[in-house]
Amino acid sequence: MGEAVSRPYRRTMPATWWLTNRAYFLFMVRELTSVFIAIYLVLLLVLISKVAAGREAYEAYLTFLGTPAVLAFHVLALAAALYHSITWFNLAPKGLVVRVRERRVPDAIIAGSNYLAWIAVSALLWWVVL
Amino acid sequence: MNPWQNTNSAADQMHEMLEHDILVIGGGAAGLRAAIAAVQTNPRLNVAIVSKVYPMRSHTVSAEGGAAAVIKSNDSLEEHINDTITGSDWLADQDVVEAFVREAPDELLQLEHWGCPWSREPDGSIAVRPFGGMTIERTWFAADKVGFHLLHTLFQTSLKFESLTRYDEWFATKLLVENGRCQGVSAIELRTGEVRLLLAKAVILCTGGAGRIYPFTTNGAIKTGDGMAMAYRAGVPLKDMEFVQYHPTGLPGTGILITEAARGEGGILVNKDGYRYLQDYGMGPPDPWPRLRAMELGPRDKISQAFVHEMRKGRTIAGPYGDVVHLDVRHLGETKIDTKIPFVRELAHRYAGIDPVHEPIPVRPVVHYMMGGVHTDINGATPIAGLYAAGESACVSINGANRLGSNSLTECLVFGARAGRHAAAFAAHHRSLDRAALAAQARDEAKRVAGLDGTDGGTERIAMLRTEMTRAMEEGTGIYRDEGSLSKACDVLRTLRDRFARIRLDDRTRSFNTELIAALELECMLDVAEAVAHSALARTESRGSHQRTDHPKRDDARFLKHTLAYSTDGAPRIDYLDVVITRWPPAERVYGR
Amino acid sequence: MRHSSEPIWWSLFAAGGVVAALVAPVQIALTGIAAALGWADDAFTHARVLALVSHPISRLYLFVLISLPLFHSAHRFRFTLIDLGLKQGRGLVAVLCYGAAVAGTILAALVLIRL
Amino acid sequence: MAEPTIALEIFRYHPEQGEAPSFRRYEIPYREDWVVLDGINYIKDQIDGTLAYRWSCRMGVCGSCGMMINGTPRLSCAAFLREYFPNPVRVEPLAHFPVERDLVIVMDDFMHKLREVKPWLIRGQETPLSEGEYRQTPAEVDEYKQYSMCINCMLCYAACPVYGLEPRFLGPAAIALAQRYNLDSRDEGRRERQEVLNTEEGIWDCTLVGECTTACPVHVDPAGSIQRAKVTATVDWYKDVLLPWGKR
Ligand SMILES: Cc1cc2nc3c(=O)[nH]c(=O)nc-3n(C[C@H](O)[C@H](O)[C@H](O)COP(=O)(O)OP(=O)(O)OC[C@H]3O[C@@H](n4cnc5c(N)ncnc54)[C@H](O)[C@@H]3O)c2cc1C
Ligand code: SF4
Ligand code: F3S
Ligand code: FES
């Protein structure tokens, strides 16, 4: 004995780390919203190509969109997209520092204006399309 | 099995000697400033900092209120000198105070140039705030986390010097003096538990104060007077140790400090009747606005003493941790509290459960600062060649019998830098080292440390001894003392020292053995405590923070002198040294006018 | 100065994130739910949709809507894989993810131009 | 007898005893106003002197007493027992760092990274002290003040899964400190620090989990600092590419 010892113990993160606490889990959900959005974008691109391909193709595709599985996907995708929007707007002030007359604009105001823009854009699109 | 018993292996480790030109022991404000000054004086010197905690953990970090230096045009060096000397009750060396005040502004400016986030005036110049015992606002601040910002600025700046080495979490145990010169230290590397030999041409002690010899203190766990004890054992006297500062406003229970800046910004102290009692102790008039050098902006010794009188009159407020008075800042309003003293609000909220915006803060006097320390001259040099000291561990003598708030951070910088420069010059001219003899000393020290664990039948638990020591200090050497209380404290300390020889540790291992460190710290504290008690016993007068009920008057004829306590095998030997008086002859200390 | 290519990908990710946050929910509600369920039938007749989509502004809008969020998704997915422990093939993961987004962008351009 | 108690379950690891770590349970008196650190000190003094941990100021400013308390990185001097009572409290060393012993982690990595980001004022030209202070308005101080509050407690590192997965990641506090100087009006070293920040292991590994900011006891908001650094690096990049000849 008598020899000096320093033998640090190293811990590793399990692949399931994101299940170990709520915040990590919500983070993972946030990141995975991107998968739903990507799939949706592909479906949208197909929709546009079907519009180009003609009425029949378009209508057949609408029927496909109406099948329960695809509908269910879109409902989930909508939830994911909403989650994305909310987390995104809440985090947006982080990278952004806005100053008015030497005073930093509070994060809540920046986030708030994002929400307003969101509502306006959504309403506009809804009105244009429908 | 006891790993320490194998002395051969302890000897083997000594083969590796670590050698530097200058060793700075301590990584607080004083240590970092000294190290930077040394490398800047001579970039070819190889400088190392040894610290028992990572530098940014040093207790400088907890200083809240500010650092004093003359910068504004309404101020003058003369006034700062005057305030400091009056505050010291004429026990400061006046040549030292002059040097201190003269060099202070450049030191704080240097910090500014290194990035310290000092609070500013709207025009971008440095802002200053009033502080106790100062005639004019001259305390620089960075909100109320001044020590924190100062320490981190110094530490981060120190990172840019390539020739600076650091030994973080190395605990120095002994100064190695050979041939009349200090040539290094032995230190325990906490991670491995090895006792290592560090050689140097000059050593600067910057190990901070020793508030932990008392039970109720603003000081962190690491303030155990190690450097004072090391110097003391090496033969350097400890100077003016009887002067222990009580800060008037600590949170009951924890002893967490509510900075004097709270009063500087306008906070008031009231007793149980809501009465500003300081006016009864010659510190009035009780203006509704903060008046400099009066009432709540008086010096700490007087305000703490007034508390004791109020308590005796039954006018304080009983609480679970003893009596308190109220520090009221409500009238400052939420905005001012949040910009000037946000940390006060946070601490009061977290540790006292009250919001100072709406309620007064319960406070009581708490041990805060050691005016005394390792005896040095104006350059930080101790009587041992090659050994320097600075910061709270040293006593260069600017604080005398009572330190003014915000002078000590500045002191760390001014005298840290001075010690660094002088050590650099010394190291350049004394290059030889007595390696063999030093190695032998370090071997002995390793054996001594190894013998501490009590495997040979020890029974005493260190926590117990520590509690008894702090109790003895509180009871015997508090705000008011007398011969009876002091002699009793001296006796108790002596028996504790004997009992220390029979301690027993639970931890017999080496890697990060914090129990062993605690034992070594306790041993240091016992030395320091004895120096305090004996110095206080011998000083039969009252001056500044040293108030003897049996000798209530200041006695310049006999005691316009520094106390020097020398370590002996028995009780400390007490000697005296004249105070340097240049242009400011002793006078009455007047506040409130 | 050494250039990391991350700023390109990150700026596309961030821009895509904004676009997705602003319009993905309403888009999904429109095409994935309203159109699929046949609400407001006259709004989704082939003729009207074709007219609506062919307008130059719509084409540009759709291009932005599809391309940028694809980069957004690619970036997030890339890091999700890394976060899940796929550290070895970092380079390959990046190529595949951004490759898919680039491919999607080109396809979208082709479809929209030919419309 | 009626005195209430609370259990602390403490992670124990000792390199010399070579065993795998284990938890030890200690029953201690429960006091309303005790923080977890007080409980641990009680154990050290009264029950088991072999427990190793770091602490000093016990007022939340020295940054040495960070621990995982019931799985969350906290300063043990600022976490009150009453937040957990009557349930037991589980105390572990800060996550993601190697453990030297018991609750003591190895912090070499952080110390190294701190230095990497050059956390000191960089100036092209040093102005002599005789010219006085560099002027800085309160608004200019505000610009970086928040990031200067970091006490190096490393709770943010223990909170960040990205650091747990990729130890080379520069990590929240180091980046926040780089930003602290980058945003200081007296500093001219941003481009130099960018060499370290604008790398994969620099700011780009961060996926904005945001837990660093949640964990930070002094509200530094490292997540925000990293986001701002990303924006700046991106703007720099486009400037460099689009105006390679221009003034950078
Ligand atoms: C709560 C509080 C508030 C204060 N507020 C103010 C204020 O507003 N203004 C003001 O002017 N002053 C203030 N003070 C006083 C001032 O902060 C201190 O006097 C000063 O910081 C001391 O600095 P230092 O460098 O001497 O020691 P420290 O900062 O205590 O550093 C000591 C260093 O020595 C090292 N060390 C100690 N022993 C050993 C050993 N055996 N081996 C190796 N290393 C060792 C430690 O690791 C540490 O790095 C305050 C003090 C306290 C406690
Ligand atoms: S950023 Fe906050 S959590 Fe991270 S080290 Fe600094 S103070 Fe601690
Ligand atoms: S938790 Fe980690 S991933 Fe980024 S935002 Fe904070 S550093
Ligand atoms: S002990 Fe200093 S931060 Fe907790």
CATH number of residue B85's parent domain:
3.50.50.60
Give the per-residue pLDDT at B552: 96
Measured in angstroms, the CA of D156 and the nearest CA of chain B are apart by 17
d(CA B131, CA B299): 9
The atom of ligand 4 lying closest to the CA of D217 is: 3
Do D18 and D76 reside in the same domain of the chain? yes
pLDDT higher than 80, residue D245 = no
Do D38 and D87 reside in the same domain of the chain? yes
Residue D202 beta carbon below 6 angstroms from any ligand 3 atom: no
Do D202 and D156 reside in the same domain of the chain? yes
Does residue B247 have an active-site annotation? yes
Q: Are B113 and D121 inside 8 Å of each other by CB?
A: yes
Q: Domain boundary at B320, B340, B366, which?
A: B366
Residue-wise pLDDT tens digits, D30-57: 999 999 999 999 999 999 999 999 999 9
Give the per-residue pLDDT at D41: 98
Residue B6 lies in a domain: no
Q: What is the CATH number of the domain that holds B294?
A: 3.90.700.10
Q: What is the CATH number of the domain that holds A54?
A: 1.20.1300.10
Q: Domain boundary at D45, D72, D105, which?
A: D105
Which residue among D15, D207, D227 places its CB closest to the CB of A6?
Answer: D15
Partner residues linked to D7 by β-bridges: D27
Apex D99 CA angle, D202 and C81, nearest 5: 40
Mean pLDDT of B351-355: 95
Residue B532 lies in a domain: yes
**Which residue range(s) make up the domain with A119?**
19-129
Give the per-residue pLDDT at B289: 83
Residue B590 lies in a domain: no
Do B239 and B252 reside in the same domain of the chain? no
In order, the DSSP letters of B235-293 are TPPEESTT-EEEEEEE-TTT--B--THHHHTT-EEE-TTS--GGGGGT-----SS--TT
In order, the DSSP letters of B530-593 are HHHHHHHHH--S-BTTBEETTB-S--HHHHSEEEEEE--SSSPEEEEEE---SS----------
Does residue B57 have an active-site annotation? no
Residue-wise pLDDT tens digits, B163-191: 999 999 999 999 999 999 999 999 999 99
Do D180 and D237 reside in the same domain of the chain? yes
Which residue among C26, C38, C111 places its CB closest to the CB of A48?
Answer: C111
CB B108 within 8 A of CB B140: yes
Give the per-residue pLDDT at A5: 67
Residue-wise pLDDT tens digits, C47-69: 999 999 999 999 999 999 999 99
pLDDT higher than 90, residue B14 = no
pLDDT higher than 70, residue B1 = no
Mean pLDDT of D192-199: 93
Going by alpha carbons, the residue nearest to atom 1 of ligand 4 is D58
The count of domains in chain B is: 3
**Of D135, D137, D140, D159, which is closest to residue D216 (Cα–Cα)?**
D159
Give the per-residue pLDDT at D247: 53
Break chain C down into helix, strand, coil percent, rounded to 5. Answer: 85, 0, 15
pLDDT over 90, % of chain B: 93
**Which residue range(s) make up the domain with D152?**
108-242
Do D71 and D100 reside in the same domain of the chain? yes
pLDDT higher than 60, residue D175 = yes
Q: How far is the CA of B412 from the centre of ligand 1 (A)?
A: 9
Give the per-residue pLDDT at A105: 84
Residue D67 lies in a domain: yes
- B20, B138, B166, B247: which one is catalytic? B247
**Of B200, C26, B491, D198, which is closest to residue A124 (Cα–Cα)?**
C26
Give the per-residue pLDDT at A100: 79
- Looking at the CA of D161, name the nearest ligand: 3
B4: chain A residues, CB-CB within 8 Å: 2
Give the per-residue pLDDT at D243: 76
Per-residue pLDDT band for B12 (boundaries 50, 70, 90) equals very low
- Looking at the CA of B131, name the nearest ligand: 1
Mean pLDDT of B549-564: 97
C91 part of contact set with chain D, CB < 8 Å? no
d(CA B399, CA B380): 15
CATH 1.20.1300.10 fits C7-114, yes or no: yes
Q: Let me know if chains C and B touch, i.e. at least 3 Cβ pairs under 8 angstroms.
A: no
The count of domains in chain D is: 2
pLDDT higher than 60, residue A50 = yes
DSSP code for B127: P
Residue D160 beta carbon below 6 angstroms from any ligand 3 atom: yes
Length of chain A: 130
Least confident interval from A8-22, B356-370, C29-43: C29-43
Enter the ipTM. 0.94
Do B69 and B114 reside in the same domain of the chain? yes
Q: Average per-residue pLDDT in chain D?
A: 94
Q: Is B428 exposed, middle or buried (0-12, 13-18, 19+ CB in 10 A)?
A: middle
Give the per-residue pLDDT at A130: 81
Q: Domain boundary at D83, D105, D127, which?
A: D105
Give the per-residue pLDDT at D168: 95
Which residue among B3, B115, B148 places its CB closest to the CB of D61?
Answer: B148
Residue-wise pLDDT tens digits, B23-69: 999 999 999 999 999 999 999 999 999 999 999 999 999 999 999 99
Token output for C39: 């609400």
Can the peptide bond before residue D86 be classed as cis, meaning omega within 30 degrees of 0? yes
Per-residue pLDDT band for B6 (boundaries 50, 70, 90) equals very low
Give the per-residue pLDDT at B4: 39
Measured in angstroms, the CA of B191 and the nearest CA of chain A are apart by 6
- Looking at the CA of D164, name the nearest ligand: 3
pLDDT higher than 80, residue B401 = yes
Residue B581 lies in a domain: no
Do B121 and B215 reside in the same domain of the chain? yes
Do B360 and B375 reside in the same domain of the chain? no
Q: Domain boundary at D105, D126, D151, which?
A: D105
Q: What is the pLDDT along chain C (115 residues), one digit of tens a residue?
A: 345 789 999 999 999 999 999 999 999 999 999 998 888 778 899 999 999 999 999 999 999 999 999 999 999 999 999 988 887 788 899 999 999 999 999 999 999 998 8
Measured in angstroms, the CA of D85 and the nearest CA of chain C are apart by 35
Token output for A28: 């993972």
Give the per-residue pLDDT at D231: 94
Apex B530 CA angle, B526 and B533, nearest 5: 135
pTM of the predicted model as reported, rounded to 2 decimal places: 0.95
Q: Are B124 and D151 inside 8 Å of each other by CB?
A: no
Q: If interface means Cβ-Cβ distance under 8 Å, which residues of chain A face chain B?
A: 1-6
d(CA D178, CA D229): 9
Residue A12 lies in a domain: no
Do B261 and B288 reside in the same domain of the chain? yes
Residue A9 lies in a domain: no
**Which residue range(s) make up the domain with B89?**
16-243+371-440
The count of domains in chain A is: 1
Residue-wise pLDDT tens digits, B67-101: 999 999 999 999 999 999 999 999 999 999 999 99
Chains touching chain C, criterion 3+ CB pairs below 8 Å: A, D
Residue D248 lies in a domain: no
CB A77 within 8 A of CB C32: yes
Do B202 and B297 reside in the same domain of the chain? no
Give the per-residue pLDDT at B5: 39
Do D100 and D171 reside in the same domain of the chain? no
Token output for C35: 């159109």
Measured in angstroms, the CA of D205 and the nearest CA of chain C are apart by 8
The atom of ligand 1 lying closest to the CA of B408 is: 11
pLDDT higher than 60, residue B266 = yes
Mean pLDDT of A71-93: 95
Do D114 and D190 reside in the same domain of the chain? yes
Q: How far is the CA of B257 from the centre of ligand 1 (A)?
A: 14
- B263, B300, B403, B589: which one is catalytic? B263
d(CA C25, CA A83): 9
Residue B580 lies in a domain: no
The amino acid present at B210, given as its one-letter code, is A
pLDDT higher than 70, residue B363 = yes
pLDDT higher than 60, residue A1 = no
Give the per-residue pLDDT at C3: 57
Residue-wise pLDDT tens digits, B272-284: 999 999 999 999 8
Q: Where are the domains positioned within chain C?
A: 7-114
Q: Average per-residue pLDDT in chain B?
A: 95
pLDDT higher than 60, residue D1 = no
D199: chain C residues, CB-CB within 8 Å: 2, 4
Per-residue pLDDT band for B122 (boundaries 50, 70, 90) equals very high
Residue B592 lies in a domain: no
Do B114 and B102 reside in the same domain of the chain? yes
d(CA B242, CA B223): 17
**How many C-beta atoms lie closer than 10 Å to residue B552's C-beta?**
11
